[in-house]
Structure 1
Amino acid sequence: MTHRVLSPVLAGALLVAALLAGGCSGDEYVAPPPVERSDVADPAVAAATVAALQDDLDDPSAAGELGADGPAADLLTAIARNVAAMGLTDVTLAYVTETGTTAGDDAWDGLVAVTWRVAGFDRASARAEVPVSFADGGRTIAAIGADAKRLPLWLTGPVVVRRVPGALVVVAGEATDIELLARRTRRAVAATRPLLGRGDGLVVEVPADSQQLHRALGADRGAYDAIAAVTAPVDGSTAPRSPVHVFINRSVYDGLDPVAAQVVMTHEAVHAVTGAALVRGAPLWLVEGFADYVALRDVALPVARTAAQVIRQVRRDGLPDALPADSDFDPGASHLGTLYEAAWQVAVTLAEHGGEDALVAFYRDVLDGTALDAALRRHFAWSEAELTAAWRSRLAALAGVPE
């Protein structure tokens, strides 16, 4: 659920399990290494092979025939089936360049530019450059994605797809629990509707394991090991219309109890359908607190349990002096549970003062670029200092300590 400063990623942390069971800058330019040229590379042949694969994506058997061996044929067949099952459109494949030699006398590695869009959900196409290993002088494909830092899930192998009202669920690998994931996704979409209306459609991608998750996100290995779910642009782009999906980290999510798992899914659905992952400048206590407000709105648990961590901290360390800072929301931090509960209580404070409609309007205004102070005045007749004082009073009451 956290959002790193200057990073278009919102991630669901393990703090939800705790509160319910009681979870180099992209702007820097780095010169690419020199390309290792191959004497056997034939760009024209490779480009023709890639074009043939694009043409054959509506025919899995024909796509498989472009594979250099059995595993490669299976992969290309699966990719073509994924395109149909996910309803991908605007799919293009274009050979870009060679990147070096690979196994075999007539084989080499290259880059292929790929675009795709989930019809009915994504407002624009995603884009990625994907490593491809060519064989047989470029006439066949031996592998896709070797050593790629970012690799879209639909290019990794077979996926299973379920459609529910307002959402699409895509599961890689063993998909024995896809019906459960689909039910949670459907409930998450339904939970957002009373406050948010329809919003954007929701796409949930479930990589088979942590390694596949990090590759789908283009993240360093281990960056999201403690995170249950991540809402992020599919291709890492920060453009306003970039496709944003929810990605599930099975290594954490599968260990959550049913209530916590549903809260995580609903929280991430709020991020996705409101476009929060592409917003810059909104304070994270609002982005994360509002998502938790929606996710916990209909959870029948006492606040002593759902806010247990922040209550303990207040009793131990006293009341916080200020609203949670953006710099505190780091996926690797050990105190995330307390932060999210604190942010949630800010949203609760606002809703109790001005009502849910005012909270939603305030949230949308800030996401649309309205200055925080102006939005607070407009919807609550409060300054940030007044909000902070009311929030501190609420925390003091919950913890049973003097202000």
Structure 2
Amino acid sequence: MIAAPSAPVPPRSAVPAPAPLVVGDGRTVRLISLGGELTDGLLTRVAGDIGDAVAAVEKFWGTDWDREIVIIATGSQQEFLAQAGLDPNRQWQDIAAVSVADHVDLAHHRASGQRMVFAPGAAAMSDQSLRIVLTHELFHLAARADTALDAPRWLVEGVADFVARPATPLPPGAAADTALPTDADLDAAGPQRVRGYDRAWWFARFVADSYGVDALRRLYVEACGPGHGDFETAVHRALNTDTAALRARWAQWLTG
């Protein structure tokens, strides 16, 4: 999930000093535990997976992104909302983690105050689920300085899931809805949001399968990057087709 803070975040001095970790080609990872043994254990698992997560993001997106990665594990829902700067009036109970920034300067390709914040419930995730969430949020962190605030969220999330999730067979009934995904699919908590994320992920997989992984990256840049045009224009520039042909091919992909 990608978000911009809507509330002040506590000063960095208010949280414990992180344990240093260096991964990949020299990226520094700061792991900050706020919940005692529970979050200590979560971050131990994160430390074991972060190298593979960095490799997956770099394989798709490249290496031109933040050299420091800050990961905070919170011990309560109140801490989660505060550290991530999230609106407490919205529904966040089914969100395991978010990637946020204090400020984004798209013109100069910079983001400041970037951090990944895990909710307290993340400690109960399976190892596979944790790896997926970690890699998904890391992609958001990597792409932050190249992602417009008004980018189509369904595509932002679908591409993040493409980077993070292993391909699995589509479930029965996947072809019941052949419309393109929409942002509204991600707004309601519960099963509708899960289904919305899945369909966005399937669409990203479809583009990669049908047009190539490089084409999916181009589509992200054209549809979600600074100064992006409408989706129709992005599809034409990235995939050399129009949305009518894209939707027809998408429907065929869903039906196998």
Q: Same fold (TM over 0.5)?
A: yes
What pairs with 1:261-340 in structure 2 (closer than 5 Å)? 261-275=130-144, 279-296=148-165, 299=166, 303-304=168-169, 307-308=170-171, 311-312=172-173, 314=175, 318-320=176-178, 322-330=179-187, 332-340=189-197
SS at match of 2:204: helix
Q: Partner residue of 1:198?
A: 63
Distance of aligned partners of 1:380 and 1:278 in 2 relative to their CA distance in 1, 3 Å threshold: closer
**Distance apart, 1:373 and its partner CA:** 2.1
Question: Take 1:222 and 1:375, find their aligned partners in 2: how far apart are those partners?
Answer: 31
> Partner letter of residue 258 of structure 1?
D
Query: Counterpart in 2 of 1:187?
Result: 52
| Residue 216 of structure 1: how far off its partner (Å) | 1.4
Picking from 251, 258, 272, the partner of 2:127 is 258
| TM-score normalised by the chain length of structure 2 | 0.82
Query: By how many angstroms is 1:284 displaced?
Result: 2.0
Report SS of the residue matched to 1:388: helix
Local SS of the residue matching 1:366: helix
Q: Please give the alpha-carbon distance, in whole angstroms, between the structure 1 residues aligned to 2:130 and 2:193.
A: 17
Aligned pairs for 1:124-163 (under 5 A) are 150-152=8-10, 154-163=12-21
AA aligned to 2:93 is D
Question: Which position in structure 2 is the counterpart of 1:81?
Answer: none
**Could you say if the C-alpha distance between residues 194 and 278 of structure 1 is closer, same or farther in structure 2, counting changes exceeding 3 Å?**
closer
Higher helix share: 2
Shift of 1:249: 0.8
The TM-score with structure 1 as length reference comes to 0.54
Q: Distance between the aligned counterparts of 1:287 and 1:269, measured in 2?
A: 13
Give the superposed CA RMSD. Answer: 2.6
Q: Secondary structure at the match of 1:226?
A: coil
Aligned length: 240
Residue 191 of structure 1 and its aligned partner are, at CA, apart by 1.0
1:247 aligned onto 2:110: no
Contact 1:158-1:173 at 8 Å conserved across structures: no
Q: Which residue of 2 is the match for residue 224 of structure 1?
A: 92
Contact 1:353/1:380 (<8 A) preserved: no
2:186 partner letter:
F
- Which among 378, 386, 393 is matched to residue 237 of structure 2? 378
Q: Which moved more, 1:253-262 or 1:237-246?
A: 237-246
- The percent of aligned pairs where both chains have the same amino acid is 25
TM-aligned CA deviation for residue 277 of structure 1: 8.9
Q: Distance in 2 between matches of 1:287 and 1:238?
A: 16
The aligned amino acid for 1:198 is: T
Whose strand fraction is larger, Structure 1's or Structure 2's?
1
What secondary structure does 1:190 align onto?
helix
2:248 maps to which residue?
389
1:348 matched residue in structure 2: 205
Which of 173, 195, 198 pairs up with 2:35?
Answer: 173
